[in-house]
Chain A
Amino acid sequence: MDFGLSPEQELFAHSLRGYLSQHFPMQRVRTLMEAEHRADPERIEALSGQGLAGILVPTDCGGSGLALLDAVIAAVELGRAATPVSFHSAFVAAPYLLSQALPEPSMRGWLEAIAAGKSLLSFARLPAKASSGKWNGSASFVADAMVADAFVVASGDDSAPEFYLLPAATPGLSVEPLLNIDATRVLGDVSFEAVALPARSRLPIADPAGALRRVLDAGRIVLAADAFGAAERSLESAVEYSLLREQFGRLIGSFQAVKHMCAESYAELEPLRALLWYAAFAWDEELDDASYAATLLKSHCCEVATEVVANAVQVYGGMGFTYDCDVQIWFKRAGYDRQMWGGPSELRARAVEMARAGV
């Protein structure tokens, strides 16, 4: 019985926190936020140097071959630091699907490039199925759309998806930027106009419906971890502020209203750390309730995070509402995590179906 992080995992979290605070301090985060849709190979290389890009890439492809639980540890830190990277898409979804298609030899090269920080991939969902080798349609809200080197596309509906890998330069493929509130993760729309699909672009995945479910679960768990990190950091930051700021001749942190708001935030948020661990563990071990746990986790964690960051803004008072106060960055970060890959009520409706099916 050992439900917790190993010493190695704790060390990883600790060193990553140190690295991010040194190399991606909030001032640099702000600079990168302004750059938004410009490619930035230096950033990706720096993160891959910390093992983040190859965290799920098999060791024989140059990655660390770690578990989703390790990715969750990283995601919490990335959320805390608001590091500009679409971790759930570039370093979780894309490499996971490619590694599922490893029998196909061309995958190896892509996975090596991901792990080395040389290529940035993006995961996209396209409702339309490829017909007679020509593709039309568009994928919405695609992470890193403007800067990705290639797209791992899941097409068709959930029950029988097909997966393709398409370089950004594929003829007929075009991207257009979207602007979202959280400038640390960029989005775009990807359009397909009569895109021809060479046979080798298709990923040979044995259980495509299962792989889609697993990749969505993994992405949701990692988005929840990101929201958790953002919320945790904003709460810590609000508590710190409350111990410096005086009003009416007292530290605001000595007012019961402020104390209880922080205590409630903490009491709501902290148990989700254990649920994050469990959901990732259940995913890694492919336990029966893995999908149920991932679904419940994302819906609840993102709702709690929304409350926690809003409370943090309130503790900061007027300052919390300014652009200069970092709490706005976590506020928006958690807002992104909440809406992407399924909002709270949509996910709970899915969970009900699982519960009824007896998970």
Chain B
Amino acid sequence: MIRDERIPADELRRIDEEIRADWPTGADVDFDEAIAYHESLPASKRFADVLEEATKPLLQPRAGVPCLDDQVELLEYLHGEGKADLLPTTIDSYTRDNEYEKAQEGLENARESGEDTLNGFPAVNHGVEGCRELIEAIDAPIEVRHGTPDARLLAAITFAGGFQSFEGGPISYNIPYTKRHGLEETIEKWQFVDRLAGAYTERGVRINREPFGPLTGTLVPPSIAIAIMLVEGQLAATQGVRSVTLGYGQVGNVVQDVAALNALQKLGDEFLPDEVVVTTVFHEWMGGFPPDEARANGVISLGGMTAAIARPDKVITKSPQEFQGVPTKEANASGLRTTRQVIDMAIEQEIDIDGIAEEQDLIERETRCLTDTILEHGDGDVVRGTIEAFDSGALDVPFAPSDSARGAVLPARDDDGRVRIFEWADLAMDDDIKEIHRARLSRRADTEGRDQSFRMVADDVDAISDGKLIGRPQNAGDV
């Protein structure tokens, strides 16, 4: 059984050669040449430096289209018209499944038809050269964003291709993104990704790694997200990563979101080794959006407001077309500018909201229950502990589609709109904390004159897209 240990150099080389044989473009990767290439890049394209030196939250959208020239045009637009500080390249779903053949078909199809028949940029198929053309065309740092359980080849090619930031992790790109990949398997594969990033780091090219904080995007209780971020941060650090950006997805309650971002930074600094620079990223609401651009702009703005108060290092913006499908570049840029306006109008204001410290304290205590149980399950080893804790249900993620998580925990909002846990299943949590949640939820049930039930959860899932934060019953008393 694997453990949280650094992959030895020869093992790294062996796997590297093996996976590069998976698709022809793998052959073009040359580590030493890649280091030289990264060294040739200007300071404005060094992701970790730009992010860590920023004095206010940097904005980054999501964006990926199949063809290279279209991707260049898209990113130029988001940089120019959207004023994005950091840029993304979102990878298509076939690549995420390692189906490079299908991705190739889709890419050729897209080239011929001019239509976007893939939902992202197939970076493996574009190869090192294609990636570098993109890096060279855009005067800003670019991150690879995906959702790939086995991202080894993608990492090898995009790192050599000049990308200096890579989203994901063994839990965060497994549990929400796939049904059948075992956790042990994805951890092993991501140890390679992190080790490769660490190898670049050793040579002075600090590749930024960003675990995917929002998980299933749907009412994830902050402590569950943070515990998983801490684990993924630790795994990355073990493999030599020195720039880690921990993520968190907005739940919509300002106090809880600010408290969670504070806790994330604090616990990140505490749990990760001193030589790692820990930054945070806040994702604007990742759950179901309103089917209406005007109302979606309201959701986006609430995210901007929260970011202005919490001041994370980075904000991933949404577009007003989130509900409908992949946004046009105009809509994507508009989400960026709406967010920028709200942040810039609010960030110089002193906005100290009551109760943030208490909520942060609760989140930290909850998170420690989970990190403690992980260490206990693994007899001190975080890899074993994570696998065992998910297995026993002591660690769980709501709405997890994966067979590797129980997905038995159910969240619901309390009367103030904060996300609490309604069904604990086997989640490892102290009784006094459970009691706090229970009391908060029962206050809501009283307000609504109905029992706590899955109906409440379902109502909460739809609430924001229906225009509210809390899924109250339509007619008071229609139990």
Q: Do A and B bind each other?
A: no
Where the two chains meet, the residues of A that have a C-beta atom closer than 8 Å to any C-beta of B are none
